[in-house]
Structure 1
């Protein structure tokens, strides 16, 4: 139990450190890669199914959306997170199989998802993966759009000019 609590403390510390680093970004001029851009359009292929690292990844995606450098390029960046593979398990309200520590992480995961939706990040879940992993559709939050096949969604976004960022 102490190892689990220490792991959780370490994860929270890492999140605060990452958040602090990202919030110090002054503008798009810090990134040569952002110079000349008129918009930011990104799809995150989210497949991390481990509650601890998935929470860190999700917060990093959200911090990226909120980053001043991204906001300097585009007042309203277009970002989509498509949950595929085992990450769909983290979206389900059925959490009996998770440890107490993981359930605490998943509560924070849920809160981050809610904030992301309010901020304008689009969330989608691959129903092929949900069916494969035994996730009941009604256990997935209503704010998360259902797509039959996450790969097809990813292909469509990429064809529309969205940059692909894998989150494994």
Structure 2
């Protein structure tokens, strides 16, 4: 009985297994004219923040490869906000090298005409002066409102919080 059940389950799984791995980005994007996207960036570790920003850059490149890039917005909030500040006063000295890499990545994204916004609630909670946020980034009052607004306008929402 067990052997028959296993054979039956394998036969049922064959169509699923044959489909696995065959779906391409090109197929997924079929029918999409332009992909307007808002990325919610809320990570607490500077290395993860840098990784997420690089992943966003790669995602934009991939959308461009398929000629599907629309407007892109990156909304930064949480402790990652400390690393998008001018000067050295908001982070420990040991974190300055990764902060510089994050700032370089911010400049790369801004040069690609990606809109960058910083949550004003996060700056207030973390004691960051809004004037100390990098010039490539606009400070908004509340990034939740920003996320809501862009989603209501049809922007795809991408949550980058995994592995915070």
Q: What TM-score, normalized to structure 1?
A: 0.75
Gaps in structure 2 of 5+ consecutive residues: 1-22
Distance 1:145 1:96 in 2: 20
The 5 A counterparts of 1:6-155 are 30-31=24-25, 32-67=27-62, 69-74=63-68, 76-96=69-89, 98-155=91-148
Asked whether the 8 Å contact 2:40–2:158 carries over to 1, the reply is yes
Larger-gyration structure (1/2): 2
In structure 1, the residue corresponding to 2:127 is in which secondary structure? coil
Q: What TM-score, normalized to structure 2?
A: 0.77
Distance 2:51 2:34 in 1: 25
CA RMSD between the two structures: 1.8
Distance 2:28 2:64 in 1: 11
